[in-house]
Amino acid sequence: MTATIDAAPPRGGEMTDSAFLKQLAAVIRAEDSYGTWDDKSDAEVMSEFIVTTEERREIPIIGDPDPDVMWRIGKFYDAIGQMIEKETGCMASQMQKMSHEGFGRIVLIAGKLVVLSKHLRDVHRFGFTTWDKLAEGGEKLVAGAGETIERFPEAARA
């Protein structure tokens, strides 16, 4: 009798087919001027956005947030801004202010309108447990910003 060994499920589960995840991958790949990531899948390029519960517990929250985490946060909200523009035609750009303790705020502005305002804490542990949750998190923020633009279109287009 032969025993079969089940392969471990992929980290973050199966990759979700999501417009937001495709946009996030495009935002990250845009910085690859030397083609280093050309042979990598989107899941490999975005793998640092997946943080399991066990990994999250191991991350200390004392000290300055890691520059890689700050980069990921910036890319996440850049992708949201680009999705907002695709869906509404209004360019949305981010501004963020983060303390050295890992607390801060991110706003996305379209025209004269704040379309997204998000307070962040424990940025040391920024990430999502699954691809589904990453896609859902981004899409929810994009939808909320779109609703704000629909409500105040003159300010968003000013």
Write down the CATH number for the domain with range 19-28+49-156: 1.10.3100.20
Sheet order of strands, 92-98 included = 92-98, 104-110, 113-120
Task: Using the predicted structure, report yes or no on whether residue 107 has a pLDDT greater than 90.
Answer: yes
pLDDT band at 29 (very low <50, low <70, confident <90, very high): very high
The residue extents of the domains of the chain are 19-28+49-156
Dihedral, 71, 39, 135, 65 alpha carbons, nearest 10: -20
pLDDT value of position 133: 96
pLDDT digit string, tens, across residues 130-155: 999 999 999 999 999 999 999 999 99
Per-residue pLDDT, averaged over 8-19, amounts to: 78
pLDDT band at 84 (very low <50, low <70, confident <90, very high): very high
pLDDT digit string, tens, across residues 42-64: 999 999 999 998 998 998 878 78
The amino acid present at 54, given as its one-letter code, is E
pLDDT value of position 60: 84
